[in-house]
A and B are shown apart, each in its own frame.
Chain A
């Protein structure tokens, strides 16, 4: 039994300690916003925050999350940066198929939480681990800049 705080709630999960956090979120808790894309930390679709830091949940054993705060796309709107990012995503109509966007939003929220004036180079660095097969990168960049402006102005 592993005890994790997910989006502010304590959840006790019956899973082997080496089970990837991704599959605990999805298969055990049915928190399906976090996506399976590659399983080897190459695409970022499974990005969640562990104590505020972005991690690839497909390659993070659930044991590493024990006693820590996990934030998923379902909970990121409760943070200032996450709320701004989601609003900017909707305003810019960023998603196409949408499958990668949870991970993109989690990476972008982590970036804005620590850097309210990201440069293009900062965005490249923070976001290049997230693959978008629909090619929405330019819209993601624009939305991050919009979100940064709104967080800064708030």
Chain B
């Protein structure tokens, strides 16, 4: 295998080499890795690959994790567009961990924050365009013609004379050429794949036949399955353990006490579970044995009343003298992510090295963490990223990979650590609860002149252990979605009060702070509209004159939902609009309320402005998915505490939206030539306020505390 490196000015991007058997490999490094390397005074290694094989198969090696969001289709599409590839020959392969795959937005190899397309839109297209240029050069050399006389279509280079060679036929010769210094990317008007409907996902067949391999599906020779008895109260620990009965269960091999609890290792899950059931443990519950949701609400409410660090201040909220003033306190509960696949990780600690198999959103950070856990260099930690049975932020957390690695290290065996559904539901890393107190003021004409919000909630930044509260004391996730209130209101003031009741581990949950703050803001703006005697859509619109993309999404949703036109008897509309993760999303919910007060959501019409799209079919599905995720939480979602214990455990008491409750969903995309925005999360924030606002329209009852069926 030979390799040619680019000149110094381009070294951050490309190298090429020949495949065994005569294909072309394009290696490149994403800008995030270049930044890391430059920071460390080193040259970035290049090992992200696009491979073109002699049989015309094109393989895109993807460092991002596929958790349903479609990234294993979108990333190859970016390459294929500029390469003019034959899509039917494009494959995707999951990469290992390598600095070359550092997410350009995070600077580490990780998937989340709706960053994948935003971060890879340009570099992946450049990789495709470079490969295309080299294939054209190889064809021109073969035919002894000017490259300018050659074009590409569907995996072939075509000369003006009509001569054709496939990419596979050209790959070997292309691998011997020096890559071009600059490549020109297509103008969006030339796109044939990007932004067009009809490109199928690359993972549908594997996921429709049972062949797709998730973390849970890993089996290694000699592997033990572990379950852990966790302390029932946060911060608790085992005071004494009698494991005699557990060890007597057939199939149980070892019982180990580790920092997170008492682990039972067995030949399979069922024996491990029976072994755990047979453990006799005296728990020291620690300081949180009397923790209750009532107490948590009081703590948060007191924090919101007292106020805290100033996150935004415009005009003079103290001096404002509105003609009409309203005030309200809103509350949102802790939430579990409840991925369909319970958390798990398989680890094998061998002499001086660690190998794990896991569905994870954060394989880059995991490498460093496990190096410390196992006492090996990070380079000796190999991460095999499996399909993720849902992520939603939960699979960014390191608890399963640490647990499995610790158990493998102590037991000397490959260990699959499995969370039962109950462990998963009760495993913390929750969306933080929050109480927010807001005031709003209207002038005599009904125009909003004052808005204040005091947010009280735990800090995700501090809880993450990889971020810190900034010097101003305002957690960015605590206030996002409310600090960035887009409405043109002259006196505007936001404060954040950090409260950590029970020291409960909080975490990123699909759309993070927007998931509760958009409910607060968009419900309260609805209150203001009604207080002003104005239509909620028109009221918002009148305050968005300086925000054309907010307004565009809002107007498209209203138009497509026939806002203002009659609905069947008993059905009412609510509307909300939110900017998050680089995209603007407005939703109109059509809701009726039964005689017992139970809401039924009949239809949701969404409009999203996410700039240019890669795959509009996937965009629509992601918005729909995000709506279901947010609606499930809005209707049912709450994690509550009593005597220090989480009260919910499984899907019977942490309920999920089901087929018979599923509304019709329509998603409309605002046509755009702007840079792409995120799409995995922006559909979630508007749904809770849109539904709550529709319930107000139906009943006159304002819901200020989630869940709706609380």
Contacts and interface: CB of A to CB of B under 8 A. Distances in A.
B198 to A, nearest CB: 10
Given A133-B629, A135-B625, A138-B665, A27 B387 contact: no
B79 interface: no
B268 interface: yes
Interface string B249-272: 010000000000000000111100
Interface string B627-662: 111001000000000000000001110001111101
Q: Which of B208, B211, B269, B418 has the most CB of A within 10 A?
A: B208
Contacts of A20: 270
A68 interface: no
Given A33-B209, A90-B204, A124 B338 contact: no
Interface string B655-673: 0111110101100000000
B625 A134 contact: yes
B342 A133 contact: no
B628 A135 contact: yes
B201 A77 contact: no
Contacts of B665: 138
B203 interface: yes
B70 to A, nearest CB: 7
Interface in A51-106: 72-74, 77, 86, 89-90, 93-102, 105
B390 interface: yes
B617 interface: yes
Contacts of A113: none
B339 interface: yes
B516 interface: no
Given A35-B389, A38-B421, A94 B208 contact: yes
B207 A101 contact: yes
Contact of B207 (A27, A45, A98, A124): A98
Interface string A131-146: 1111111111100000
A96 B68 contact: yes
Given A42-B651, A133-B339, A23 B659 contact: no
B628 to A, nearest CB: 3
Contact of B210 (A16, A73, A130): A73
Given A93-B200, A96-B621, A138-B664, A32 B210 contact: yes
A99 B341 contact: yes
Given A27-B269, A99-B389, A133-B390, A127 B659 contact: yes
Contact of B219 (A30, A74, A134): A30
Given A35-B341, A131-B658, A40 B209 contact: no
A19 B460 CA distance: 41
Contacts of A37: 340-342, 421
A40 to B, nearest CB: 6
Interface in B110-127: none
B208 A89 contact: yes
A101 B651 contact: no
Contacts of B420: 39
A50 interface: no
B225 A137 contact: no
Contacts of B657: 135, 137
A123 to B, nearest CB: 7
Contact of B204 (A39, A73, A95): A95
B230 interface: no
A12 interface: no
Nearest to B341: A99
Nearest to A88: B208
Contacts of B624: 135, 138
B270 A43 contact: no
B216 A74 contact: no
B69 to A, nearest CB: 7
B651 A97 contact: no
Interface string B491-520: 000000000000000000000000000000
Nearest to B630: A135
B340 A131 contact: yes
A131 B389 CA distance: 13
Given A97-B388, A131-B658, A19 B270 contact: yes
B210 A128 contact: no
B20 interface: no
B213 interface: yes
Q: Which of B209, B418, B624 has the most CB of A within 10 A?
A: B209
B630 to A, nearest CB: 10
A30 to B, nearest CB: 5
B141 interface: no
A97 B68 contact: yes
Nearest to A16: B250
B340 A132 contact: yes
B275 to A, nearest CB: 13
A131 B225 CA distance: 25
Interface in B191-240: 200-201, 203-214, 216-217, 219, 225
Nearest to B217: A32
A65 to B, nearest CB: 15
A73 B209 contact: yes
Contacts of A89: 204, 208
Contact of A27 (B225, B339, B626, B658): B225
Contacts of B205: 90
A28 B211 CA distance: 17
A42 B650 contact: yes
B62 interface: no
A43 B651 contact: yes
Contact of B660 (A19, A77, A101, A124): A124
Given A77-B209, A98-B68, A134-B390, A38 B651 contact: yes
A99 B339 CA distance: 9
Given A89-B204, A98-B389, A33 B211 contact: yes
B608 interface: no
Interface string B376-395: 00000000000111111000
A94 B617 CA distance: 11
Contacts of A40: 421, 650-652
A127 B250 CA distance: 37
Contacts of B67: 97
A89 B342 CA distance: 24
Contact of B659 (A74, A96, A128): A128
A96 B70 contact: yes
Nearest to B199: A93
Given A35-B389, A135-B632, A137-B662, 7 more contacts: A19-B270, A20-B270, A99-B340, A99-B390, A135-B626, A137-B658, A141-B659
9 contacts: A30-B219, A89-B204, A97-B389, A98-B206, A105-B208, A127-B659, A128-B658, A133-B338, A135-B627
Sort A-B residue pairs by CB-CB distance and give the 7 closest, nearest first.
A33-B210, A135-B628, A99-B389, A98-B207, A97-B68, A96-B68, A27-B268
